[in-house]
Structures are given as structure tokens and as C-alpha cells.
């Protein structure tokens, strides 16, 4: 779930809520590891394809630092809730639409969607 949230934040998919969440994540890392830490440098240089690497780095640090793991877990929960509440989703199929196959209508999805075998 952390990778999905970080990916949404890096990619800008979460809008203003995402900007606030990104700021809070960098603040968390700065407070825990310092302003010159490798972790903070990784976050500040992140690009859209780096979310899994960043999530892995943060999870690795959480494994060796139980306090950081608690703070990160709390951040993930709060951020997921904030992003879900940040915008309304309206899914519509209308008019003369002809659907051939599966249709998924959803807001933010944190995890996979499996429609089964074809």
C-alpha cells in the first residue's frame, strides 16, 4: 500500500491533498533522519518511476527502526484516508454506450484489481 500511495503522490494524482501528504512525508523523514540524510535526498529527487524504490527504502528503514515504522504506518493510514476524502468520484456510462467486456468504475485504487481468467 505504501508504494501505491507514494506513486500517487509522486505522479501528482492526489492533487492538493497529495501535496500536503508529500510535505508531511518529507517532514517525517527530515525529523527522523535529519536534513542531510540519504532518505530525504531520495524523496526530494523522486520521479514518477521511483515509487517502489522509495517505498522499499522507507520500509527497510522501518524494519530497523520500530519508532519510524510506527510513524510511517500512521502516515500511510492518514494519507490514504485524506486522499480518499480529497475528491468526489463520478463514474458514468451513458448515452448510446455499448460495453463489450468488463467495466470497472472506482475512485482511487490502492492495490490490484483481478477480474479472473478470460
- Tens of pLDDT, residue by residue over 55-107, are 888 888 888 899 998 998 898 888 877 766 666 667 788 889 888 888 887 77
pLDDT attached to residue 67? 92
Q: What span, in angstroms and rounded, lies between the C-alpha atoms of 48 and 89?
A: 23
Instruction: Tell me the DSSP string of 23-68.
Output: HHHHHHHHHHH-TT-HHHHHHHT--GGGHHHHHHHHHHHHHH-HHH
Confidence of residue 34 (pLDDT cuts 50, 70, 90): confident
Domain boundaries, the chain: 2-85
pTM of the entire structure? 0.60
Amino acid at each position: 500500500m505504501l508504494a501505491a500511495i507514494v506513486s500517487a503522490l509522486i505522479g501528482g494524482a492526489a492533487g492538493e491533498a497529495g501535496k500536503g501528504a508529500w510535505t508531511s512525508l518529507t517532514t517525517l523523514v527530515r525529523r527522523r533522519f535529519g536534513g542531510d540524510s540519504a532518505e530525504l535526498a531520495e524523496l526530494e529527487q523522486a520521479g514518477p518511476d521511483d515509487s517502489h524504490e522509495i517505498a522499499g527504502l522507507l520500509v527497510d528503514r522501518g524494519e530497523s527502526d520500530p519508532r519510524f515504522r510506527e510513524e510511517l504506518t500512521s502516515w500511510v493510514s492518514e494519507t490514504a484516508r485524506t486522499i480518499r476524502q480529497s475528491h468526489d468520484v463520478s463514474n458514468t456510462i451513458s448515452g448510446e454506450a455499448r460495453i463489450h467486456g468488463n467495466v470497472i468504475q472506482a475512485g482511487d485504487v490502492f492495490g490490484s484489481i483481478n477480474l479472473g481468467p478470460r
